[in-house]
Amino acid sequence: MNTTDVLEAEFRDGTIRTHGPDGFEGMRAAGKLAAECLDMLTPHIVPGVLTDELDRLAREFILDNGALPACLFYRGYAKTVCISVNHVVCHGIPGERILREGDIANIDVTCIVDGWHGDHSRMYGVGPVAPRAKRLIDVTYEAIERGIAAVKPGATTGDIGHAIQTYVESMRCSVVRDFCGHGLGKVFHDAPNILHFGQKGAGEVLKPGMFFTIEPMVNLGKPAVKVLSDGWTAVTRDKSLSAQCEHSIGVTEDGAEIFTVSPAGLFKPPVETA
Ligand code: MF3
Ligand code: CO
Ligand code: CO
């Protein structure tokens, strides 16, 4: 067990926390910085860029803003962002890979501001992409919107999963089962788990002040994934394309507040088709 495990074991006891105005203030600042980090990266996501260069830009941006990159040294992870390209579902490790025209890539960043975690990801097309790749990205964004629309006090985590799954499957895509959204706040990965599939009324009842992520992973092919020998990179077993996007949100008295709103309006970066 490493240090992170010890710390998390101490804080994560399975109870679902609710937070007051100070928590909302803290999460707004953390979510905003995560969104600004991806806003900053957007013009750099072009054919020929090294994924490690994007990681360096993100790390320096977060540190320059007096915040901390949550993923750096988290359970032995050695980078600031995850960059998941084409059939990589999540947790792709930046390195010597160069982005090429036609690739689709998810970039996922989490920053810690005054102890609060802002966890956020978006999809990018690298130059023009195939029409089916753009369609997958569009389905993934619509899926997260439908999931967020299901959030209000008295609804359940299962309502969120049900909204996402029924939409994604109606579009002849599939929802990844092996990874889920999560509570967050002062803890990075906290209770409850937010499954992106499920039954109406199942799971935990949502209450004002709960904070969690919604981060559906959607595949063009089958939902099955496997993790590569690096211990992180998750890929589709059938090598079909996969897409993901993620917001950190809080349950309000009548719905949801999105903490990771892009100040530049860049949550859905424009994707061109070939
Ligand atoms: N940001 C990811 C999430 O959405 C977690 C990445 S953990 C890492 O929960 F160590 F892979 F970076
Ligand atoms: Co994330
Ligand atoms: Co997350």
pLDDT digits (tens, 9 = 90+) for 68-91: 999 999 999 999 999 999 999 999
- Contact criterion met (CB below 8 Å) for 214 and 247: yes
The 3-state DSSP class for residue 11 equals helix
Bridge partners, 205 (sequence order): 156
If phi > 0 it is left, if psi is from -120 to 50 it is alpha, else beta; for residue 263 that is alpha
Sign of the Cα torsion 87, 80, 175, 259 reads negative
| CB of residue 187 inside a 6 A radius of ligand 1 | no
Query: From the CB of 71, is ligand 1 less than 6 Å away?
Result: yes
For residue 11, pLDDT over 80 is answered with no
Query: Tell me: the pLDDT tens digits for 118-170?
Result: 999 999 999 999 999 999 999 999 999 999 999 999 999 999 999 999 999 99
Confidence tier at 7 by pLDDT (50, 70, 90) = low
Q: Ligand 1 pocket check: which of 93, 117, 119, 247 to mutate, most ligand atoms within 8 Å of Cβ? A: 119
Looking at the CA of residue 81, tell me the nearest atom of ligand 1: 12
Average pLDDT over residues 178-202: 97
Q: What is the pLDDT of residue 1?
A: 35
DSSP bridge partners of 83:
107
pLDDT the model gives residue 12:
77
Please give the pLDDT value at position 3: 41
CB 118 within 8 A of CB 31: yes
The mean pLDDT of 246-274, rounded to a whole number, is 98
Q: Say which residues have a Cβ less than 8 Å from residue 49's Cβ, sequence separation at least 6.
A: 98, 99
What is the spatial distance between Cα 69 and Cα 95, in angstroms, rounded to a whole number? 17
pTM as predicted: 0.96
Q: How far is the CA of 120 from the centre of ligand 2 (A)?
A: 5
Q: What angle do CA 44, 175, 274 make, to 5 degrees?
A: 40
What percent of the chain is modeled with pLDDT above 90?
95
Eight-class DSSP state of 254: S
* C-alpha 267 – ligand 3 centre gap (Å): 16
Cα–ligand 3 centroid distance for 255 (angstroms): 20
pLDDT, mean over the chain: 96
What is the SS3 assignment for 76? helix
Task: Report CA(74)–ligand 2 centroid distance (Å).
Answer: 12
Ligand 1: does its nearest atom lie under 6 Å from the Cβ of 110?
Answer: yes
Give the nearest ligand 1 atom to 91 CA.
Answer: 11
- Distance (Å, rounded) from C-alpha 112 to C-alpha 33? 9
